[in-house]
Amino acid sequence: METKVDQTLDCKGLSCPMPMMKLAKAVKGLKSGEVLEMLGTDPGTKSDLPRWCNKTGNTLLDESELPGGISRFLIQKK
């Protein structure tokens, strides 16, 4: 079943630290249980984002690769 996405954050083309800064800010603005879709192309995000979720208690629901080198992450706010 496709997860309902409440907000999408486009970080394509951005380099570290912008994706993580934008992500942290966007998640701050969500209500508990809401889901953020993040699209990015920085390979660093693939290791930074799961670690950050682990630390902050937010849930990384899904991580997938889209065509064109884009990583897609679904994060549910704690």
Binding residues (CB under 8 A) for other proteins: these are 10, 12-18, 20-22, 24-25, 28, 41-44, 46-48, 51-52, 55, 65-70
Residue nearer to other proteins on the CB measure, 13 or 33: 13
C-alpha 14/C-alpha 6 separation (Å) is: 22
User: How wide is the angle at C-alpha 1 spanned by C-alphas 59 and 24, nearest 5°?
Assistant: 25
Q: Which of 3, 5, 8, 16 is catalytic?
A: 16
Closest to other proteins by CB, 31 or 47: 47
In angstroms, the Cα distances linking 53 to 1, 49, 60, 63 are 22, 6, 6, 12
Q: Is 16 a catalytic residue?
A: yes
Q: Report the residue number, 31 or 55, with the smaller CB distance to other proteins.
A: 55
DSSP secondary structure letter of residue 13:
T
Which positions are annotated as active-site residues?
16
